[in-house]
Structure 1
Amino acid sequence: MAALALLLLAGLFSPAEAAAVVARVDLSSQRMTVSVNGVPRYSWAVSTARRGYVTPTGVYRPQRLYREYYSRKYYNSPMPYSIFYSGGYAIHGSYAVNQLGAPASHGCIRLHPSSAATLYSLVRTYGRGNTAIVITR
């Protein structure tokens, strides 16, 4: 562990590379890939911000997790398996599965509910501090 800390300080590894769970979201392809301990395990279609909205890019850690959550801002919409990573932005399940693979959200990252459950379980198992969310264009 001390060696890893030294590599991080030296700038040889990013915090995302040091995480046990890394969820990478590519906005251009509308896909999320999830690696566990450096091994690619999952690849899922997502829906991110549609025209007029934004999904922020960057590297994040999960802040809050909710098994069941309902949007206070958007008509009490269900957001199962929510993983909030930046203010009101979250990765969560969506029942609008026919929209996955294309921009459709107000900025959140939508997944199929079963995929969201899998990711939620990984974050709970490995911990928020051992999870990185990387969002790129």
Structure 2
Amino acid sequence: MGRIQSVANTTEFLYSELMRRESKLFLIILPIISLFAFLILAISLELFNARNRLGGCGCDFDKTTGDFDYSEKTAFFEGREISAPLVAFMESNLNQVLGTTNSDKKWIEIDLSDQKLIAWEGKNKFLESLISSGKWARTPVGEFSIWGKYKYTKMSGGNKEDHTYYYLPNVPYTMYFYKGFGLHGTYWHNNFGEPMSHGCINLPTIVAEKIFYWSKPEIPLGKNSVLANKENPGTRILIHE
């Protein structure tokens, strides 16, 4: 009987010792496992955000009137100082509704892979142009409609440290289609056909002017801005890769 009790005590001691050591090992390993799990999660989230990060124009809509601001003399793009337009752009007598088709059949297609915009009237092309889409932030894809037009507006954003800072007063013929993303004219580069923006669609200014007056919402005579509404809806925009 004493021998059996001794074996039982020894077994109990060995089991307790094993559990104690396993507990210590577990306490050592647990923080390491938790750290690795946290790092994997953080990296995964950053990759997801980087892939889906959206930019925009950095426009203060509360202060945007669509009027040309003659007090602005300097602009910045990619962290470099450039000349800002000192006077309003000369228009091509296009301040009227263009096209030959019912405005309900007008729509805009943007192909990010080809860096190209086509303005359609039903199945007929009204206009085709190269564009510059998002380089430092992704241009959103999907179906949208123009929610507001501003003949001139100021855009700013980016970061001075990585040379992505931009400050662009009097950006011409801006047509917003999703939050702060819009189609607009461009005076700070001429590299159309290559991504160059923070998510917006850069257009040659003469092209932006045509689309500005061709598309809806129609801008009232003598006004420099308009918001879409039920009676004056915005033109549909389809963006794909």
Which bracket does the TM-score occupy, shorter chain normalised?
0.7 to 0.9
In the superposition, relative to structure 1, how do residues 77 and 99 fare at CA in structure 2: closer, same or farther (>3 Å)?
farther
Comparing 67-76 and 123-132, the one that deviates more: 123-132
Q: What TM-score comes out, normalization by structure 1 length?
A: 0.78
Task: Kindly indicate whether residue 191 of structure 2 is the aligned counterpart of residue 99 of structure 1.
Answer: yes
Q: Write the deviation string for residues 69-92 of structure 1: whole angstroms up to 9, x where unpaired.
A: 111434134421000011110000
- Determine if contact 1:30/1:45 at 8 Å carries over to the other structure: yes
Measured in 1, the distance between the counterparts of 2:150 and 2:190 equals: 24
User: Percent identity at matched positions?
Assistant: 25
Based on CA coordinates, which of the two structures has the bigger radius of gyration? Answer: 2
Q: Which residue of 2 aligns with 1:9?
A: none
User: Please, what is the CA RMSD of the aligned residues?
Assistant: 2.1
Measured in 1, the distance between the counterparts of 2:190 and 2:234 equals: 32
Q: What is the number of residues matched between the two proteins?
A: 119
- Determine if contact 2:133/2:201 at 8 Å carries over to the other structure: yes
Task: Kindly indicate whether residue 240 of structure 2 is the aligned counterpart of residue 136 of structure 1.
Answer: yes
Query: C-alpha displacement at 1:118, in angstroms?
Result: 0.3
Measured in 2, the distance between the counterparts of 1:96 and 1:29 equals: 21
Runs of 4+ in 1 over 6 A off after TM superposition: none
Task: Kindly indicate whether residue 202 of structure 2 is the aligned counterpart of residue 110 of structure 1.
Answer: yes
Q: Write the deviation string for residues 61-115 of structure 1: whole angstroms up to 9, x where unpaired.
A: 1111001111143413442100001111000000145211100100000100000
Report the 3-state secondary structure (helix = DSSP H, G, I; strand = E; otherwise coil) of the residue aligned with 1:98: coil
Report the 3-state secondary structure (helix = DSSP H, G, I; strand = E; otherwise coil) of the residue aligned with 2:215: helix
- Determine if contact 1:21/1:34 at 8 Å carries over to the other structure: yes
In the superposition, relative to structure 1, how do residues 78 and 99 fare at CA in structure 2: closer, same or farther (>3 Å)?
farther
Q: Which amino acid aligns with 1:86?
A: Y
Q: What TM-score comes out, normalization by structure 2 length?
A: 0.46
Q: Which runs of 5+ in 2 are unaligned?
A: 1-102, 158-165, 220-227
Q: Which residue of 1 aligns with 2:213?
A: 121
